[in-house]
Amino acid sequence: MYVSKNPFGILLSFVIPTVSGIQFLSSHLRYILAFVSFIGTVIGLLSIFALFSDPVFQSVVSLLIANIMISILIIAIFLMFNRILDNLKYQFENYREQNELLVSNINELENKIIDYEKQIEFLKNEIEQERIAFNVEMEKVIKEFQMRKDETYTQLKALNNELILKDKAIQELSNNIKNIMLDMDELKNELNLLKDLLNFLAENIDDFQSLYKISEDIIEVVSKFVYYDTLVIFIKNEMEGNLDVFLVSGENSEFYYNYKKIEMEELYRLTFIEGKIVVASKENDSLIRPFYPKEVIAVSIPLNIAKSRMGMIYISYLDEEKYKPVKEDILVYLSNIVGIMLFSSIFYSKSINRVIWDDRLFCYSADFIWEFINNLSFSSKRYNESFGLLFISFSQIFGKNINDLNDNDVKFIREINITIKSVVRETDMVSFIGNGVIVVVLTKVDKDKVEVVCNRIKNMIDSKLNLLGFSGESYLLCSVYPYKNLEISQLVELSIEKLSNNIQQRRVILEVVKA
C-alpha cells in the first residue's frame, strides 16, 4: 500500500524505462535492458491502475515490483561483471598474442643482428684489406709522381734558366743594337756638324777681317757644338807669357773681364801646359772649382792651332741640369776649328797684342770695350737689367785718335782714367775710344741714381783738370740701355751725335739719356 500510494513508485515506473533507454543507447546490454524497460513500463502502468484498484493487489504488485527490480539489478550486476570479465579475457588474449608476436619479432631481429654483425665484420675485413692495398698502391703512385715532379721541376728550372739567359742575351743584343744605332746617329750628326762647320770655314775664311767678326763667328760655331751659360776665350799673351781674355759671351761677363784677380794657376797648368780637357765641379774636390761662385760645372779645353797651344776655351754652367757631357773628340774638333778661325784672321797678331788692357792708358782697349758692350746688351735683354754708357769728351783739350797720341796725351788720359777708376765700381769699365772721348760702362745701373753717379764723376774730373792746369771743360753724356727699343749700336751712334751737338752749341755740360 505504501508503494502503491507512494509517488516514488510512480516516479520509478518512469525513471527505470528512461534509464534503461539510456543504457540501451550506451551499452552492449541493450537487448536485456530493452526487456527490463518493457517490464518496468508494464509495472508502471499497473501501479497507475493500482491507484484505483484493490489495496491487496496493490501490496502484491508492490512486492512483485520490488522483487523484479532487485532481480533485475542483480542480473544486471552479474551481466556487467561478466561483460567486464569477457573484456578482460579478450584483452589478455590480445596481449598474450601480441607478446608472442613481439618475442617472435625480437628473436628474428636478434638473428638478423647477428647476421648483420657477421656481414659487418666481413666487410670490415675486406675494407681493411682494400685500405692496406690502396695505401700500398698510393705510396707507389706518390713516389712515382714525386719522381716525375722532381724530374719535371728540374727540366722546367733548366728551361727557365735557359730562357733567362736567352732573354738577357736578347736584351743585351737589343741594347747593343740601340747603342750602335744611337752611336751611328750621333756620328752622323757629328759628321753633318763638322761638314757644316767646314763649309762655314770655307765660305767665311776670307771674311775674317776684324775682331768683331771673329767674335761673332766663334760664338756661332761654339753654340753649334755645346750649350753654355758663359763662354770665355783666353789667348796667350806672347809679351807677358800669361793668358789674356779675348772673348766673353753669356753670363758673368763683368766677372771675367776682371779675371786677373782670380787664381788660375791650377787650371793653367792642367789645360794650357799639360793640354788636358778638365771638367770642374763644386762636388769634385780632387780637381779645380769653377771660377765664378754661381757656376756649378765648368769645362776647360786647350785651344790649339796645329801642334801649338795658343790659348784656352772655358765653358761654364749655372744649372747642373743644363750640362750635357760632350765627347772629348768633339771638344778637340771645337778647339781646332776655333784655332783655325783665330789664326785665319789677318788681324790676329794685332788682336792678340791689344786684346784687353792698355797699360799705357790704364784702361781697357777700344776693341775689347765694344765687345764687352755688345755682350752686355744681350745680358741686359735677357735679364731685364739696365746699364749706362757715359761718354766724356775732352775735344776742347785734344781730339786725337789712339795712334796719334804723344807722351803728354798718354799721361793726361792715364791720369783721367785713374781718377775715374777711383770713383766707379770694380765691375765698371773705362776705355779711351779716340777723338778725345773716354767711355765708362756702368754695369747694372739704377736709372734713378745714374745722374748722381755721373755728377760725382764729373766733379772728380773737373777737380783733376784744375790740378793738371787745364781750364777747358769736359762734356758728359750718359745713355741708359735699353732705350726706346734701339739696338746698342744705334744707341751709341745717337749718344755720340748728341754729345757732338752739345759741344758745338756749348749749352749742356752733362746730359742723361734714359727711357
Q: Write out pLDDT tens, residues 1-45.
A: 334 445 555 555 555 555 554 554 445 455 565 566 666 666 666
Residue-wise DSSP of 111-175 = HHHHHHHHHHHHHHHHHHHHHHHHHHHHHHHHHHHHHHHHHHHHHHHHHHHHHHHHHHHHHHHHH
Q: What is the pLDDT of residues 168-195, one digit of tens each?
A: 888 888 888 888 888 777 767 766 666 6
Mean pLDDT across 43-68: 61
Q: Kindly tell me if the per-residue pLDDT of 70 is higher than 70.
A: yes
Q: What is the pLDDT of residue 417?
A: 92
Q: How far is CA 486 from the centre of its chain?
A: 46
Dig out the grid coordinates for 267 from the structure: 787650371
pLDDT band for position 418 (cuts 50, 70, 90): very high
Q: Does domain 208-354 fall into CATH 3.30.450.40?
A: yes
Task: Tell me whether domains 208-354 and 356-515 share a fold.
Answer: no
Q: If you search the block for the grid coordinates 774636390, which residue do you land on?
A: 285
Look over the chain and give the mean of its residue pLDDT values, rounded to a whole number.
Answer: 77
Is 356-515 assigned to CATH 3.40.50.10330?
A: no
The three three-digit cell numbers of residue 257, written as one number: 773681364
Distance between CA atoms of residues 400 and 413, nearest Å: 11
Average pLDDT over residues 470-486: 82
pLDDT at 228: 86
Is residue 444 within 8 Å of residue 427, measured between CB atoms? yes
Q: How far is CA 143 from the centre of its chain?
A: 53
Task: Identify the pLDDT of residue 436.
Answer: 86
* pTM (two decimals): 0.43
Q: How far is Cα 65 from Cα 40, in angstroms, rounded to an integer?
A: 8
Question: What would the mean pLDDT of 50-57 be, rounded to a whole number?
Answer: 56
Q: Which residues are within 8 A (CB) of 43 and not within 5 positions of it... i.e. 6 or more apart? A: 13, 61, 64, 65, 68
- Pairwise CA distance, residues 381 & 52, whole Å: 167
**Rounded distance between C-alpha atoms, residue 178 and residue 452, angstroms:** 64
State mean pLDDT over 392-396.
Answer: 83
Spans of all domains in the chain: 1-206, 208-354, 356-515
- pLDDT at res. 2: 39
